[in-house]
Structure 1
Amino acid sequence: MSDGRPGSDADGSARSDALDDSDDSDESNPHPSASAPSTEPSVAGGDDVYASEVEGKQYRGTWYLPLRYEELEESDDSDDYPESGEGGSFRLADLPRVPRVGHVVGPSAIMLGASLGSGETLFWPVLTAQYGWAVFWAFVVGVFTQFLINTELQRWTLATGESIFRAFARVGSYWPWAFLVGGLISLGWPGWAAGAAQVATTALGLDGTVALFGASLATWKLVAAALMGVIWLSYQVSSVMYNAVEVFQIGLLFVAIGAALLLVAVTGSWVEFADLPAAAGSVGTLPEGLDIAVFLGGLAFAGAGGYLNLSQSLWMREKGYGMGNYQGRVKNPLRGDDPEPIERDGFAFRPTLTNLRRWRGWWRVVQLEHLLTFAFGLLLVAPALMSVAMRYASGSTANAIQMWLGDVVPLLGPVGSFLVFSVLFVALFTTEYAIVESFVRNSADALYESYGREAGWDLPKLFWRLLTAFCVWGVVIILLFSSPFEGQEPFFFLVVGAAMSGVMMWPYTALVLVMNTTRLPEHVQPGWARVVGMWWATGFYGYFSVLLIGTWLNGLGVATFRTVPTVIGSGTGGYLLWAGYFAVQAYAVAKSAAGKREAAGTVADADEAVGRFS
């Protein structure tokens, strides 16, 4: 019986790499070469749907299975395949067999690492120190809302092998540019490296200034600049640049989680959890006097947030999940390895019984990977750190970094202080690491798909140059920035980036909802429960974004744009902002509902692809 997989490159080799690149031996290639995928549906037995142990292990690194792209049949305009929009047709290939969840852990671990140094270490401990468990409901809602958004961001890549930015470009060429600008505004400020450096210098007793080239610089600035250099150097370890990030991030993640749990044990802060049930009555309410910018930053970073979330699509492609298995990986141009093509117009699979059942299996696996790693990881670590903040910094009005270093550490013994320093440093550093990775990978892909491919640019070289430029930019900003808020420089960076990330999530959540329900065929569309969930997500981030925008404008002296939580009582311009919000929400709901209705019954046996929470 055929294994149902399309062939590989001309020499029949499948490419699979861990951090140290493995050789392409016959033993690591479970798929024989073939000129094209089978056009006949396979008998849907277990071996046709699920990968063997040998095959599944290929996903523990990154896996690329090249195809003879030009020889593959092109998709037509029928309801069986994704709509091409402003792009070319897809090439047809079978969906790869489904690995076990234990074989595919990686992208969500990086996302968890990105989350620890933002909302989970900074914003939410500050909020709970000030307001107690009364705001915890918003954290839980934020985590599961981001779980839903992140998995919907993965859907297009799993089904086509294309990045989310290529999908956006099919809708309109301006979308990748818009999110690129938003990403620079929200992530272009190296606040997490600055925060990690401040923690390190305080722990080591190196507070103060040093003379450099005739200028006096704060010690933390030099340490932060050095951390940016360490991040840049780490990318040179592996020929597949994603692999270095994954290995280093997972290692740092274990350190951060272990230190956080030990901190709870050493400080006895677990007693704070006894008050958690009493906070159930506060669900849906906001405490009076809550800083809306910090709160929206917390919502955006109840998880990674903003531009960071878009990386889920690209990390999936790098790992080789689903149809992304047939796309190349971004290689390090300094290592001299052969480049791997990332096709502009990706792939689609025929809706045979086998492929439909494989889709159901893949969707279950990627959801479980994200739930068990990202969502449950956050719900384990974040409340632990919140309990410490409530026990030792209750009522503190300091910013997050000053709260930990100025309020909490002085009350702890040597072991507790060491653990606080360890958690903060590692969490902030992992977040900065993930931000560099996310910004560079997203921006390189957005630039490449919007302009660079047609201009003849090389994606790996573009990635490497952006990596270098972004790290240099971070060093320059750290060294030159002088904040008017004395003593709050790192946290100032964080609030600006976090709030902008929250605002950014509103438009791309609505766009992904509409795209996945109107441009994907019936068998890979989100189910109605997920569609309703995305209606909620769009409304959720849109509501708080309008509140924040109105608050900002009011603070700048434009009182007419003042917005209030109840809507009624806003300024004249504020009502215009609310009108825009309701218009966007109405469009997203109507368009997605119409897409679902129009696709219903258009693909034979589409129910074979439907699983729990499809």
Structure 2
Amino acid sequence: MTDDHDEPQVETDGGLTEDDVHTTAEVGEQYRATVYRDVDYEALEVAPETSEYPSTDGKWGFRKYDMPKVPKVSHLVGPSAIMLGASLGSGETMFWPTLVAQNGWGLYWAFWVGVITQFFINTEIQRWTIATGESIFRAFDRMNSIWPWFFLVAGFFHVGWPGWAAGASEVFAVWTGVVPREDWAIIGVVTMVLIWLSYQAGPILYNAIEKAQLILMIVAIFGAVVLAFIAGSVGQFANIPAGAVNFGALPQNMDIATFLGGLAYAGAGGYINLAQGIWAREKGYGMGTYQGRIKNPLRGAEPEEVHGGFTFEPTEKNLLRWKQWWKVTQQEHFLTFVVGLLVVATVAMTISAQYASGTDQGAINMWLDVIIPQLGALQQQLMYVVIFIALFSTQYAILEAFVRNSVDIIFEGYGRSAGWDLSRVFLGLLTLFTLWGILIIVAQFQQPWILLVIGAAIAGAMMWPYNALVTILNSTRLPEHTQPGWGRIIAMWWATGFFGYFTILLIGGVLNSPQAYGLSFPAFETTVGIVGSGPGGYALWVFALVVQIYTMYRSATGKMNASGTVDGADTARGFLS
């Protein structure tokens, strides 16, 4: 693979040309699939323990290699499309339309704030991978080996139950009539099998889900745009501006678990977000270009090695390449993830607000039994298509993200040293998780809405610690030129405090809710205004404050201590860098 081309030599500052920074159109096209450049990892120089390179924390040194040239943003679309697919059937067509139908547009502020917050979270999770080629879990392992395993356990409680597959199957049964609604489990089994089989479509496992999700997202977004004009809910758009600026407003007696789930699912949420960096590595973003992709052993594909970490010398050429990689990465995530969510979710909310205002139904029943029967024939068919795709794409992405994250944790925590084959570990866990889903479906262990709520609440709760960890990681372990700018650090402080606040409310609600959970500890009551909490509740608030102060202190001092330590770092820096 070559980077040579015949484009005009446009000079940048320092005598470098565009050719030194950006790749050719031909090579850029290769990123539409995935790009892997094999290097002799063991022969590369180990980066010294200086301020110019990432901190090793005493573990696994980084090997030095040049930052690869940068393709166009249009060549990089993929990881965020998968994240969008994971989001549509959770928050965007389930939780948020239900919340708005039940409580009105006054909550819309929390939705768009949640989406923008997750934009910063997701791209900060990608930062470490783009700079080093490592997954976020390997980075967490550098900080403390307990963290990856903690997120693995929490992740199973978050997405270990195939609730979205059940929802998609029920929608499909009602829509097509191919089986009675009560026999949706048949379709559920077929759905899980089809997802497993889709991975056999090619030698590179990532490519299968990316292509499938891109197609599903295009159909879903197009369908949502059409619905906005024909579903008779256009008048609801007039209510959006007031709700969008209704900051901090929460309905009285609102269930905090449901609301925290909505916040987590203003995007994919929880364990799923942590896959963003691994998908970036599989795609070939930044230094991930030099990491092998997980191949399909059933297709006889030659394995590619996922090496240890990489780093680059902060030359002017590499700094310009880093700056441009960071720019196109943010553009890809914003244009795909943020815009896609705002379009589909807002349309879904207008429809639920128009046809199911004040509903007490769970999300699936709200769509199938309340909203769709009120629509015309054409609108019904299109609504079925959008809801089915939303739920199916979410289960697809959830299975992919759970397996992808868990395999990385298991492989890095044990399998690498034991000599395991990463591809076989992936295929094995993919098969086990698929069979687990089939077992749940066949056994008719119906997951009630409350378990989806609890799973979503866990998603929100686990985002609190990993937001803090990512903030500290990127501002203390990365060198000056790859650290987040002050604007992003402040955004991550907000994200940590945002999810910390609602997590404490959730914990207090759980400990003081005998009707739902069987035990009651009134001393741990927490209130929205903090004042009036129980003694244990105040202790929880103090703990949250300590976490927030610690996160802000560590990241701020890390940022200030790194200032001026790398010559030429200004080339790659900026307020939102």
TM over 0.5: yes
What is the CA distance between 1:560 and its match in structure 2?
Answer: 2.1
- Answer yes or no: is 1:512 the counterpart of 2:470: yes
Partner of residue 494, structure 1: 452
Counterpart selection for 1:601 from 547, 564, 572: 564
C-alpha separation between the residues in 2 aligned to 1:575 and 1:295?
Answer: 21
C-alpha separation between the residues in 1 aligned to 2:445 and 2:147?
Answer: 33
Give the AA of the match of 2:163.
G
C-alpha separation between the residues in 2 aligned to 1:355 and 1:450?
Answer: 31
3-state DSSP of counterpart to 2:52: coil
Give the AA of the match of 1:478.
I
3-state DSSP of counterpart to 2:324: helix
- Answer yes or no: is 1:546 the counterpart of 2:504: yes
C-alpha separation between the residues in 2 aligned to 1:468 and 1:460?
Answer: 12
- Answer yes or no: is 1:579 the counterpart of 2:542: yes
Counterpart selection for 1:186 from 158, 172, 176: 158
Give the AA of the match of 2:373.
P
Partner of residue 477, structure 1: 440
Contact kept in structure 1, 2:109 and 2:245, CA below 8 Å: no
Q: 1:519-547 CA deviation, whole Å, 9 max, x = no partner?
A: 00000000111111110000000111111
Counterpart selection for 1:140 from 112, 116, 126: 112
Partner of residue 8, structure 2: none
- Answer yes or no: is 1:346 the counterpart of 2:309: yes
3-state DSSP of counterpart to 2:385: helix
Partner of residue 123, structure 1: 95
Partner of residue 522, structure 1: 480
3-state DSSP of counterpart to 1:236: helix
Counterpart selection for 1:102 from 50, 58, 74: 74
Report matched runs for 1:561-576 at 5 Å: 561-576=524-539
3-state DSSP of counterpart to 1:454: helix
Counterpart selection for 1:428 from 367, 384, 391: 391
Counterpart selection for 1:268 from 232, 254, 258: 232
Counterpart selection for 1:437 from 396, 400, 415: 400
What is the CA distance between 1:381 and its match in structure 2?
Answer: 1.2
- Answer yes or no: is 1:359 the counterpart of 2:317: no
Give the AA of the match of 1:584.
V
Partner of residue 44, structure 2: 72
Structure with higher helix content: 2
- Answer yes or no: is 1:229 the counterpart of 2:198: no
Partner of residue 576, structure 2: 613
C-alpha separation between the residues in 1 aligned to 2:88 and 2:380?
Answer: 19
Partner of residue 317, structure 1: 281
What is the CA distance between 1:333 and its match in structure 2?
Answer: 1.1
Partner of residue 238, structure 1: 202
Report matched runs for 1:1-400 at 5 Å: 14=1, 29-30=2-3, 43-205=15-177, 208=180, 218-279=182-243, 282-343=246-307, 345-400=308-363
- TM-score normalised by length of structure 1: 0.90
C-alpha separation between the residues in 2 aligned to 1:255 and 1:182?
Answer: 32
C-alpha separation between the residues in 2 aligned to 1:300 and 1:280?
Answer: 18
C-alpha separation between the residues in 2 aligned to 1:567 and 1:481?
Answer: 42
Give the AA of the match of 1:462.
V
- TM-score normalised by length of structure 2: 0.95
C-alpha separation between the residues in 2 aligned to 1:498 and 1:404?
Answer: 19
State percent identity of aligned pairs. Answer: 54
C-alpha separation between the residues in 2 aligned to 1:280 and 1:376?
Answer: 16
C-alpha separation between the residues in 2 aligned to 1:77 and 1:131?
Answer: 54
Contact kept in structure 1, 2:481 and 2:566, CA below 8 Å: yes
3-state DSSP of counterpart to 1:94: coil
C-alpha separation between the residues in 2 aligned to 1:234 and 1:208?
Answer: 26
Q: Give the 3 Å change call, closer, same or farther, for CA 45–99 of structure 1 in structure 2.
A: same
Q: 1:292-334 CA deviation, whole Å, 9 max, x = no partner?
A: 1111111001011101001110001001110000000000111
Partner of residue 26, structure 1: none
Give the AA of the match of 2:537.
G
Q: Give the 3 Å change call, closer, same or farther, for CA 503–135 of structure 1 in structure 2.
A: same
Contact kept in structure 2, 1:360 and 1:611, CA below 8 Å: no
Query: Which range is displaced more, 506-515 or 195-204?
Result: 195-204
What is the CA distance between 1:491 and its match in structure 2?
Answer: 3.1
Give the AA of the match of 1:399.
G
C-alpha separation between the residues in 2 aligned to 1:42 and 1:235?
Answer: 47
What is the CA distance between 1:90 and its match in structure 2?
Answer: 0.7
Partner of residue 379, structure 2: 416
Contact kept in structure 1, 2:526 and 2:537, CA below 8 Å: yes
C-alpha separation between the residues in 2 aligned to 1:279 and 1:108?
Answer: 27
Contact kept in structure 1, 2:261 and 2:456, CA below 8 Å: yes
Partner of residue 368, structure 2: 405
3-state DSSP of counterpart to 1:282: coil
Contact kept in structure 2, 1:269 and 1:391, CA below 8 Å: yes
3-state DSSP of counterpart to 2:104: helix
What is the CA distance between 1:152 and its match in structure 2?
Answer: 0.3
C-alpha separation between the residues in 1 aligned to 2:244 and 2:419?
Answer: 57
What value does the CA root-mean-square deviation take over the aligned residues?
A: 1.6
Q: 1:243-272 CA deviation, whole Å, 9 max, x = no partner?
A: 000001111111211222222222121111
What is the CA distance between 1:206 and its match in structure 2?
Answer: 5.8
C-alpha separation between the residues in 1 aligned to 2:450 and 2:441?
Answer: 12
What is the CA distance between 1:289 and its match in structure 2?
Answer: 2.1
Contact kept in structure 1, 2:4 and 2:24, CA below 8 Å: no
What is the CA distance between 1:434 and its match in structure 2?
Answer: 0.1
Partner of residue 522, structure 2: 559
Contact kept in structure 1, 2:3 and 2:23, CA below 8 Å: no
Q: 1:158-212 CA deviation, whole Å, 9 max, x = no partner?
A: 0000111111111111111111111111010101000001111122336758xxx
Q: Give the 3 Å change call, closer, same or farther, for CA 262–336 of structure 1 in structure 2.
A: same
Query: Which range is displaced more, 155-164 or 570-579?
Result: 570-579
What is the CA distance between 1:494 and its match in structure 2?
Answer: 2.3
Partner of residue 10, structure 2: none
Contact kept in structure 2, 1:42 and 1:354, CA below 8 Å: no
What is the CA distance between 1:278 and its match in structure 2?
Answer: 3.2
Give the AA of the match of 1:526.
P
Give the AA of the match of 2:340.
G
Partner of residue 20, structure 1: none
